[in-house]
Structure formats: structure tokens, C-alpha cells
Structure 1
Amino acid sequence: MHKTSDVFGITRDLPLNYVERNSADNKLVENLTREKHLVIFGSSKQGKTSLRKHALNDTDYIVVHCSNKWQVADVNSAILKKTGFELTQSNSKSTTGKSKIFAKITAGIFGASAEGGAEAEKENTNGSTTAPLELDPDDVNDIIAALNSIKFNKYIVLEDFHYLPTDTQKDFSVALKAFHEESKYCFIIIGVWLEENRLTVYNGDLTGRITSINADKWEVDDLEKVLTEGESLLNIKFNGDFVSALINQCHGSVYILQESCHQCCIRANIYETQKQTIEIGDKIQVEGIVSEVVSQQTGRFNSFITQFSEGFQTTALEMHKWLLFPVLTSSINDLRAGLKYSKIREILEANHPSKGDLNPGNVTQALQSTAALQVKKEIKPIILDYDQTNLRLRVVDSGFLIWLDKQNRKELLALAGLPYV
């Protein structure tokens, strides 16, 4: 007997109807033992975290959730805390002038009465105790030494890596090379973007040291399996026309598919596994159900448009506001493929008040700070991201595309303070 909410919809735990994909699950499992860092990327709500949870046991890794206010030292400190260290500030300064920290292990790793770091061992009647380790949280070598001191042997998962400031992402990409060369520690980086080589763009030395796994791609067969698994668990059968129409309208979004199936079940009063098989769903229901699912985020999407259009501050060119112009006027198919840099420049030069006076630097700078602006405005999950490898502005929230397709574009342009052409 299973609850409908444990099968369909978004849950904190691994959904019961989880489906393995050759392009993602198999690639992840094959690379777990290759001693390379792993990067799991894709749009929001496309199964990145579920992919990691399915492939690994809870005891195989520690998880650090990244913050938009962190620098590299904060990331490293969070890792040490997760491994069991208690951190306090030292009076000593590092070579950069920042304060060092004391890292001390208390109970759980060395036993009930032990505490320590990695230096100055001393004997007592209760066994061996170690004085706290003084280290520089910016220094990868110190972090490696601390982890070695407790014989740490798990994967380190960094969730929401895209929330880190861009400079921190770049700096940590440098640190990742050192972790790979000077230790056996492997990181699993999880972020919202659609660019396979994001971290190697930040640090070319990572080439060959990381493996990227695209969690965004869901083939029609994969989505059909999600439905079939759910049907089996709940002893139901979705109408064939309903299934075809739903897969067509969810545009590869497993989140929209899962939520729509949940809505369909609730409308049919199915809250748990049925004693007798029952067929539910009708083709004419699909558009209404999908619209209901995406409309739940109308407030968030409207807020994104108004906040993004404000930019970091008031400027003469209002570049971030004008970046929304090609987004809000392009076709859904073009947005799904990603808007090319050259196309964006062409649209802006034809419609921006400054027209031909715009220089490439204005456009490039605005595009490259797309994610940073959303993080600063606390737009979570982010909706737009600039792919610096392929020079494309991409929508990384498929729900936004489905929502946009059902909106009055003129009203959205007005919301952003842009003209309707």
C-alpha cells in the first residue's frame, strides 16, 4: 500500500517511481570509482539530487548546501563542520591577513572521550587525545591535512553550487584541482546550469579531472517509464490519450509530469494504492491540469521579471531590464534552444533606446552577471543562466517556459517596463 504523494509529485525523499536513465544514472555509477570530481548539472527540479541519492547510500557522503554569501573559506569551514570538526577562531593570521581557525574533533569519530585535531598528541589514562589543529580555511593543503587526520573517506557533495558568488565558484574551481592532485577526496558538485563545461571554463586545469553528468535530459521513453512505475505502485492506469498529451505538454520537465499526475490522481479521488485497477485521466484534462501546476508559480515568475529588470542598481543603459526584451519576445522553441549572443545583440541594437551605441562589452557584462543578479535578489531557483561556453542565454526552469507560453506577452513587457513592439 502506497500513498499517492509518495509516488507522484515532489517529495523530500526519493520518489517511489524513480526511473534510472542511461544518460545519467549509468554514467554516474560508472564514474564513481574513477577518482575524478563529478558535476551533476541541469535545470531546476529535473532530478539532480534524486540522481545522487539513488546512486549512493547516505553513509557514502556528506552534504554541504552552499550559500550566496560564502567565500572559499566558508565552503571549506562548512566541509570541516560536516565531518565532525568544531571550529573556533584563532588569534593567528594567515599570509593573506585573515584569522586562522582551530579545528577540534569531539566525540563520535575518535570515541566518547576523545577530542583533537592533528597535532600535539598526548597520553592520558583515557587514551590518546590530540590538541586542536590550527589552520588557514583558505588553504586547501590545511583542509586536506585536517581530513586526513580523521581518516575521512567519503564523497563531499556540494549542493546548490550555483548560489555561490561567481568569484567563489571560480576560486573553488582552482581548489578542486589541488584536491584532485594532493588527495583522494572526490567532490560531487550539483548546480543549476545547462553548460557541460562550466567549471573547466572557470579553470582549464580541471580538464580531465572532472566528469560532467547531464541530469536535465528526459527522453520520452524515460517519462513513460515514470508513469508506468507510478501506475504499478498505485494499481491504476492512465488513459493512453492522456499520457500522450501530457508528455507532449510537459516539454521534458519531469517535475511538471510528476505534479500533473498527482493532480490527476487527486481529481479521481485516488490517495493510495487501489484494490482494483482503475483507469483515470482524459486528454481534455491535460491542458487544465498543466496550467494549474505552472500557475502555482505565477507570483514567483512575476517577481522574477520585476526584480531582474531592476538590475543591481539604476544605470543609464538598464541592460538587465533590456535582456528581458529578447526573452519575453522570443518563441518558446528559441528559448528552449537558448538565445545566441549574436541574436541578443541584434535584437537589442534594433530596439534599445541607445541602439547602435551599445558596445559588445555592455551586453557581455550583463549576460555574465545574469545568475549573480538572481542570487543577489534571492530568486530561487534561478530562471536564466548564461552559457559562456556556447554563448547562449538559457532558461533553466522549464516551468517558466510552459508558464510563459500561456501568458499575454504585452502585459509581461509592461511589467518589466519595456515597450511592446
Structure 2
Amino acid sequence: MSKLRATEVFTPNDTPVHTYVDRRDLKLEELLRDALDTPKVVASVSGPSKAGKSVLIHKLVDPNLIILVSGATITKADDLWDQAIQWMGGADTESETDVTATTGSISGSMKGGISAILVKGEATGSLTSSLTGSSAVTKTRRVGGLPGVIAEIANSDFILFIDDFHYIPKDVQGELGRQVKFAAERGVKICAASVPHRSDDVVRSNPELSGRIAAVNIGYWDINELQVIGKLGFPKLNIDLANSVIERLAAEAFGSPQLMQSLCLNLCREKAVTEQLDQMARIEVNEADLARTFERTSAMSDYSSVVDGLHSGPKERGQERKQFRFSDGSTGDVYRSVLLAISDAPPQLTFTYDNLLDRVQRITIDEKPVGSSISQALSQMDTPLSKNLSPRVPILEWDENILNILEPYFLFFLRSSTKLSSLGGV
């Protein structure tokens, strides 16, 4: 029997087999199964980025029955249905040949769908007929888009899974919401996934979907739930690890099981464990091991250019921005103060304005940035900075009172890489 590999136990980018945590007390599997089994209802799964929304549906549904379309690839309503058709193998075409007879005969070969009155499908062969004259006109039409999807998978076990619905442009969501309702009413099973603060996007896209949505909220993973991943996985590799180490990894995973999987895998690599040990062995881990593990993990998602852009802020004419001194020994403007505040302990993905202001004041020495400059910087970081730096996958959102970090790996990179320190000359 071959030994388990670390990459089989800890799977950041795949559905876990050895380290799957069902969070049974939340009844997530039961709720999603009921939603998918209810006719003419759209299942809406909400949860933070990298919180396991895709893993949950792949755990319940045969992957061969999941038609996955990312909201990041949808710029117009037709994109959803066209991509679903492509997943099925491409759009079918139907050909119709209209023959007008006069006098004489017609012979030759034909290929394609004959008139629906005769045969629907493809035929190849020869045709000879006595006619009183003739003229033929062939019309070909594409059977795709929304009608094609309904024709192919309505009342079947296939699931159309729209991941990251919140990435779809607002002006497209309205039309798409109407089409989703139409498809669901005709028996197409649809599941949409989004982040918590945008979980109502599906309903808001078409208010008539109210009462036709079955919501399943995954929520943030707590530290105890994240620890289960390590407690299941390390013994599979015959690694005896101190609970304090697993707790530390879980604390740095920011509620993301995917990030926890990455941290556990990179700790194995840092300790040169690529496969199951011959027997159970105690592995000691010190602060230097953890620091290198965090650095390894931050390299898996390089946000250097995003941090560069957010740190620099928008180009401005006229006077230079006011400089401040910070507790890490660096100096910088209000944009650096915001990034340092976000990266400060304890790690979190959502900040109120007051919370963020307190952090800025705590890390700033002597003169502090004023509240209006912090608000202005946050508005610029949201639009246009972050959207220009990462247009298809938003990094953060600011709505005048709440800052949401949408991408846990961005926060991890900000905290664990040396990028922010190097920008400050520390």
C-alpha cells in the first residue's frame, strides 16, 4: 500500500478527502440538499471568500453533474447560458431546407437536420426525386443560449452553479435575474454563491425571486473548526504536532479553510515531510519554522503589485501628501497608515470606520492622520485603485462605514510577506 502524500491530505485547491469538516451543527449539507431538491427554487450559498462554498456543493453533488460558471467571466446575461452550452459540448444547429417545385427532378447529397416535419437531427445520404421544377433554400439556426440550456438540462440532475455571483456587474444582474427565474421555473436546477455582504444580490437582481430563493449561509469558520483540519490531517501523515502549533495556524487562517489547508501543507514542506512517515513521530515547530511557513504561503498568492498600488495611492498634482511616523519605524502617508492598520493584530476581514480609526491612531507616533483623510483614502482604495489593480476579482470594498477585505489571501500576504516592510524601508 502506497504512503499518503502531504498533497493528498492537505488540499487547498481541491475537495478534501482526509480533512473534510462537515460542520454538522450548522446542518449545511442538509440545508443545501433540501434547497437543490426543491423544484423551481434557486439555491443561494453565501460565505466569505475561500470559506468552502464550492467544496460544499462538490461534496453533495457528483462533480460530473456540476456546470460551473464563474461570475467573474460574465459581462452580459448571455454569457452564463453560452458558457453552460460550451460545457455541454457546444451549441447544436438545426437546418431546414424549403423546396419549391416546378418541373423536373432533383438529385444530390444532403447533410444536416432535415425539416422538423421529417426528422430532427443530422442525416447524411442522397436524395433523388421527380419534381415539377424546384428551388431550394436552406436556413440554419443556432440552438443555444437560455433555450438551449432549458432544452438540455431541465428536470435533470445537472446543477448550474454560478460561483461568485457578486462579481457580475450590477447592470447585468437585473437581466440575468429575470432569466434565472425563467430557467428555474422550467426545471433547471441553479445554485448561486456569493460573499455575505452581497448575499442578497440574487434577490435584488429580480425582486420576483423573493420566495423562490433557498438561502444557505456558510459564515466564517471559527478557530476551533479550522483546528479540526490540522487535527485530522497531521495524524494521517504520522505527525504528532503540539496543539499550540495548530492553534497558531488556525489563528492566521482568517476564517478560511482553504488558507488553513495551505498553511498545514506548507508547514509539512517546511519540515521536509512530503509523505506519510513510517511511524508516528513528534515534530517540533518553533517561531522561525512558523515564520518561514507563513512566507511560503504568502508566496502562493503574490499581491505585490496590488500592495504597491494601494501604498502609492492615486497620482496627485500639487503638494505632496503629509508624512507620519509609525510604530514599525517607518514613515509614510495616510495610505501607508491604512495598510498598516489593516495588517495589525488581531487579524480580521471586516472593519468598522471607528475600529480602523482606532488602529491608525494606535500605530501612528506623534501627529495622527485626521478622519476625513482616512475616509478619502479608503474611498480611493476601493474605487478606482483596487478595481483597477484587480478588476475581475475585487480585493476590498468600502461603503463609508464598513471596510470588507474580500480576499483572505490578500490580508495574509499583507501580514506575512515582507512587501509592506520593504515599501516603508524597514
Q: TM-score, length-normalised on structure 2? A: 0.68
Quote the residue 1:255 is aligned against.
258
Structure 2 counterparts to residues 208-357 of structure 1, below 5 A: 208-282=211-285, 284-285=287-288, 287-296=290-299, 300-307=302-309, 326=338, 328-329=340-341, 332=344, 336=348, 338-340=350-352, 350-352=371-373
Indicate how the Cα distance of structure 1 residues 123 and 207 shifts in structure 2: closer, same or farther if over 3 A, else same: closer
Q: Give distance in 2, aligned partners of 1:394 and 1:125.
A: 52
- 1:218 positional shift: 1.5
| RMSD, matched Cα | 4.5
Number of aligned positions between the proteins? 366
Separation in structure 2 between the aligned mates of residue 349 and residue 71 of structure 1, nearest angstrom = 42
Tell me if 1:44 matches 2:54: no
* 1:132-162 per-position Cα deviation (integer Å, ceiling 9, x unaligned): 655795xxxxx2x433434542111123434
**Alignment partner of 1:187: what SS?**
strand
Indicate if the aligned counterparts of 2:298 and 2:417 stay in contact, CA closer than 8 A.
Answer: no
Q: Against the structure 1 CA distance between its residues 170 and 32, is the aligned structure 2 distance closer, same or farther, given a 3 Å change threshold?
A: same
- Matching residue of 2:407: 397
Q: Which amino acid aligns with 1:30?
A: D
Give me the whole-angstrom Cα distance separating, in 2, the residues matched to 1:278 and 1:168. Answer: 55
Q: Counterpart of 1:171?
A: 175
* Cα separation, 2, equivalents of 1:168 and 1:85: 23
* CA drift at 1:376: 5.3
CA contact (8 A) 1:223 1:247 kept: yes
Q: Which residue of 2 aligns with 1:95?
A: none
Secondary structure (helix, strand or coil) at the match of 1:123 reads coil
Change (3 A) 1:291 1:395: same
List per-residue Cα deviations over 1:232-290 (Å, max 9, x = no partner).
Answer: 43232222222233223333232332222222222333222223112224353564145
Structure 1: unaligned runs, 5 residues or longer: 88-101, 105-113, 138-142, 416-421
| Structure 2 CA distance for partners of 1:380 and 1:240, relative to 1, 3 Å | farther
> Structure 1 length as normaliser, TM-score?
0.68
Contact 1:193–1:385 at 8 Å: present in 2 too?
Answer: no
Q: Distance in 1 between matches of 2:259 and 2:151?
A: 46
CA drift of 1:195 comes to: 3.4
Give, in whole Å, the separation in 1 of the partners of 2:254 and 2:121: 66
Of structures 1 and 2, the larger Rg is shown by 2
1:155 is aligned to 159
Deviates more, 1:149-158 or 1:372-381: 372-381
Say which SS state the counterpart of residue 394 (structure 1) adopts: strand
Give % identity. 18
**2:203 aligned with 1:200:** yes
Gaps of 5+ in 2: 96-110, 125-138, 319-332, 361-368
Residue matched to 2:396: 384
1:21 lines up with 2:23 in the alignment = yes
Pair 1:206–1:244, CA change in 2 (3 A): same
**2:12 touches 2:259 (CA, 8 Å); kept in 1?**
no
- Report the CA distance shift for 1:315/1:334 in structure 2 as closer, same or farther (over 3 A): farther
C-alpha distance 158-173 of structure 1, shift in aligned 2 (>3 A): same
Match of 1:91 in 2: none
* Matches of 1:247 and 1:31, distance apart in 2: 31
Deviations 1:46-98 (A, max 9, x none): 322222211110232222234446211222222222234426xxxxxxxxxxx
What's 1:8 paired with? 10
How far off its partner does 1:188 sit? 1.6
Deviation by residue 1:192-236 (Cα, 9 ceiling, x = unmatched): 564332322333332222233334521333223212221343232
Q: Which moved more, 1:332-341 or 1:27-36?
A: 332-341
CA contact (8 A) 2:74 2:80 kept: no
Does the 8 Å contact 1:162/1:191 carry over to 2? yes
The 3 A distance-change label for structure 1 pair 190 and 325 is farther
Following superposition, the deviation at residue 342 of structure 1 comes to: 8.4
Separation of aligned partners in 2, 1:216 and 1:158 = 18
Structure-2 change in CA distance of 1:218 and 1:170 (3 Å): same
Identify if the C-alpha distance between structure 1 residues 222 and 297 changes in structure 2 by more than 3 Å, giving closer, same or farther.
same
